[in-house]
Amino acid sequence: LSRIGDELYLEPTESGLSLRAVNSSRSAFASFLFAPLFFQLYEPGIAGPDTELFRCKVHMKSFLGVFRSLPSLEKSVGKCLILLKPRASRLVLQLHCKYGVTKTHNLAFQECERLQAVFDTQSCTSRLCAPARVLAEAVVHFPLTLAEVTLGTGPGGKISLQNYVEEAGESCRPSKTMVTQLWLAEDEFQSVAVAPGSHITFCLKEFRGLLSFAEASNLPLTIHFDEPGRPVVFTLDDSVLEVHLVLATLSDLESDAQSTLTNGVSHLPAPSDDFADDLESYMAAMETSEGGSGGPPSPTFSLHTPQPAESDPEEEEEEEEGAVPGTPPHKKFRSLFFGSVMTPGRPGPATTQEVLAEDSDGEC
Amino acid sequence: MRFRAKIVDLACLNHFSRIINTIAKLAKTCILRLTVCKLYFILSDKVANGGASMWCELCQGNFFDEFQMEGVAAEHNEIYLELVPENLSRALKTAQNAKAVKIKLTNKHCPCLRVAVELPSLSSSSRIVTHDIPVGVIPRRMWNDFREPSVPDFDVSIYLPVLKTMKNVVERMKNLSNFIVIEANLSGEMNLKIETDLVSVTTHFKDLGNPPWASEDGCQSSAQGRDLESMVEVCIDIKKLQQLLAGQQVNPTKALCNIVRKRIVHFILLHEEVSLQYFIPAVA
């Protein structure tokens, strides 16, 4: 929850304690509902005819600070009491530890409105369910700094994940962004019910938080999505816990360029197939658009002191090493250290061996 | 112009990844030159690099199970690509238990090096991750910019101390100064020195040994008559040196440097299957 927002909303309900968070741009919402059975004791309070059950929000950091070091908590804490005292304006967190030690934390809270994102998983056209491990292994290929990822469907029922790149259509990307795409087979999922050709783009950072929780608790993750622009809902379920993460997705209007890319995704042949290599025509276009061939060489590695004047052009043509004066000592060096690995006169165009040619003109 | 290659052996893949990681630490952008037998990673000494340049060479046969290259033309059977090595490093990072890695030059929207990693999965088909790394194709007329550098006419050549030790020393010195002086003599002694208004620190290394450069070509005769004890020094940007040392993930078989007094230092790091040369110019 702390990966989403800075404030923790606590909402006791009849069906359990709900902890929620929302991000500042209101594009991500998460809620964890702990059923009464999760707790040793659960008293949500009494709601009157015109008063609702009390709810509040606290600073995320203050709340987390109480549970700072999980390993030591597990060793020393026997019980934890969470008590909401509306009249004292305090949320009390009391840790009952070993040896009769009790740590009481009083957190200031603010009253708040009900925090609820509008979503309905039933109305989503597509649904995927996978073990958290599979999804965790999938996102590991994307850099931690990656903001957005596109989840799509491909031929053969495959599901793809691709980093989202803002690009201006099909022309060459001016920003040298690497595009990473991962394909998962249908049978890696526990269930797949997706509309063909569907895709959504959402923020990976917020999803990673839920994913690590899911992995740690070994629960399968369900992804409910619809058209681009409509939120994607990630859910985790177990007998005492219900988790929802709702993320906004890029609408097709904003992702016009993206749809070019994702159309590419859905029309993509199976990944191992070949793609047309248009490099010959590309190279031809490049070469003809330049002027004549072979302009004067630009000085390269000009910081090096030139070799002694024995670099007779005639002798340079010999590819022999050894006693020939003016042969780059570099090559001689290679035979010193590489021994048989490097043979003199190694294959390759002669031009690459003329490293002493800096002083000569008209190098072609 | 075509290029396709495949690595199946995990040890080769790991080794190749480590080399790419080293290159990525030294250069933000560099040239990848492909020939029938070799791969070269080249950084030429433009001002943007702070004047440092790099030449790294490896034999493809030591890494790839399949390697097919067709250059721009029959008589120029090579390909020069400009790329960001960090992209390649990232693509290979999560391929550590791959079944196979294929690299191919493609041109869907623009030239890319497509790295396709086939990963094991519990399902019937493998998981495939593809990384499209944008590359720039260098036209033939510019190939001369990336010729192999020559060994400079150095004043001293000396083996380096254990790289890990040198790296630790340089890293601590980096906190104190932006420049470092490397000095060495022909008696196997090297000093690393920094000097600021507040402090000067020198670390002395001895018994390093000086590599035997063949003298029959007459180039190094000037070194012969000189006093073996006199130190030759060069002052360089400490960050460049630290990058070089930090990027070394495996201990080289041989590591040495050639110093041209007050001009440049030329590092040569040799491993069994790859050689790396790095030139750091003196600061003005």
> Residues B154-182: pLDDT tens digits?
999 999 999 999 999 999 999 999 999 99
The predicted structure's pLDDT at residue A144 = 83
Per-residue pLDDT, B115: 95
Find, in chain B, the residue whose alpha carbon is nearest to that of A308. Answer: B219
State the Cα–Cα distance between residues B135 and B201, nearest whole angstrom.
Answer: 44
Instruction: Give mean pLDDT, residues A47-58.
Output: 77
pLDDT in tens, A10-51: 998 888 999 999 988 888 999 999 999 999 999 887 766 666
Determine whether the interchain pair A271/B36 forms a contact, defined as Cβ–Cβ distance below 8 Å.
no
Average pLDDT estimate for A274-293: 47
Question: Average pLDDT of chain A?
Answer: 72
Class of domain B2-145: alpha beta
**H helix and E strand count, chain A:** 8, 17
Which residue is closest to A169 within chain B, CA to CA? Answer: B109
Residue A48 confidence (pLDDT): 67
Distance from CA of A161 to the nearest CA of B (A): 9
Q: Mind listing the pLDDT tens digit for each residue in B173-230?
A: 999 999 999 999 999 999 999 999 999 999 999 999 999 886 544 444 444 556 788 9
Distance from CA of A197 to the nearest CA of B (A): 19
Q: What is the pLDDT of residue B16?
A: 93
The pairing of strands A28-34 and A56-59 is unpaired
Given a cut of 80, is residue A97 above it in pLDDT? yes
Domains by residue range for chain A, with CATH: 7-111 (3.70.10.10), 126-167+178-250 (3.70.10.10)
Q: Per-residue pLDDT for A145 more than 90?
A: no
CB contact set of B141 (below 8 Å; sequence gap of 6+): A287, A290, A293, A294, A295
Q: Which residue has the higher pLDDT, A316 or A355?
A: A355
Q: Measured between alpha carbons, how far is residue B153 from residues A304, B222, B244, B260, B267 in Å? A: 7, 9, 22, 7, 13
> pLDDT tier at B134 (50, 70, 90 boundaries)?
very high
Tell me if the pTM is above 0.80: no
Q: Are B257 and B180 in contact (CB under 8 A)?
A: no
The answer on pLDDT for A219 being more than 50 is yes
pLDDT recorded at residue B86: 93
**Residue of chain B with shortest Cα separation from A144:** B90
Residue B150 has its nearest CB partner, among A172, A298, A304, at A304
A121 is written with which tokens? 């998983």
Whole-number Å distance between alpha carbons of B273 and A283: 32
Within chain B, all domains assigned CATH 3.70.10.10 are found at: 2-145, 156-281
Question: Can you tell me the distance from the alpha carbon of B5 to that of B105, in angstroms, rounded to the nearest whole number?
Answer: 9
Structure confidence at residue A87 (pLDDT): 81
pLDDT at residue A352 is higher than 80 = no
Q: Does A359 touch chain B (CB under 8 A)?
A: no
Instruction: Compute the half-sphere exposure of residue A314: CA atoms within 13 Å on the CB side of its CA.
Output: 0
- Mind telling me how many Å the CA of B226 is from chain A's nearest CA? 19
Residue among A184, A278, A289, A304 with most chain B CBs within 10 A, to mutate: A304
Contact A300 B264 (CB under 8 A): no
- Which of B36, B150, B254 is nearest residue A356 as measured by Cβ atoms? B150
Interface size between A and B, measured as CB pairs under 8 A: 197
- Mutation target to probe the A interface, by most A beta carbons within 10 A, among B6, B87, B141, B216 is B141
Q: Above pLDDT 70, what percent of chain A?
A: 65
Interchain contact A177–B (C-beta under 8 A):
yes
d(CA B64, CA B61): 6
Confidence of residue A122 (pLDDT cuts 50, 70, 90): confident
Residue B281 buriedness (CB in 10 A; 0-12 / 13-18 / 19+): buried
Average pLDDT, chain B: 89
pLDDT higher for B48 or A228?
A: A228
Question: Distance between CA atoms of A238 and A283, rounded to whole angstroms?
Answer: 58
CATH for the B156-281 domain, from 1.20.1250.20, 3.90.1200.10, 3.70.10.10, 3.10.20.30: 3.70.10.10
Q: What is the ipTM of this complex?
A: 0.82
Q: Which residues contact A9 (CB under 8 A, 6 or more apart)?
A: A18, A19, A20, A21, A22, A55, A56, A57, A112, A115
**Option in B91, B133, B281 nearest A303 (CB):** B281
Are B78 and A279 inside 8 Å of each other by CB? no
Contact predicate B189/B208, CB 8 Å: yes
Q: Which of A258-262, B75-79, B235-239 has the lowest mean pLDDT?
A: A258-262
Assign residue A254 a region: left if phi > 0, alpha if psi is -120 to 50, beta otherwise?
A: alpha
CB < 8 Å to A328, chain B:
150-151
For A86-90, what is the mean pLDDT?
81
Mutant choice from A150, A159, A177, A279 vs B, greatest count of B C-beta within 10 A:
A279
CB atoms within 10 A of CB A227: 15
- A 10 A CB-CB count for A71 gives 7
State residue A290's pLDDT score. 42
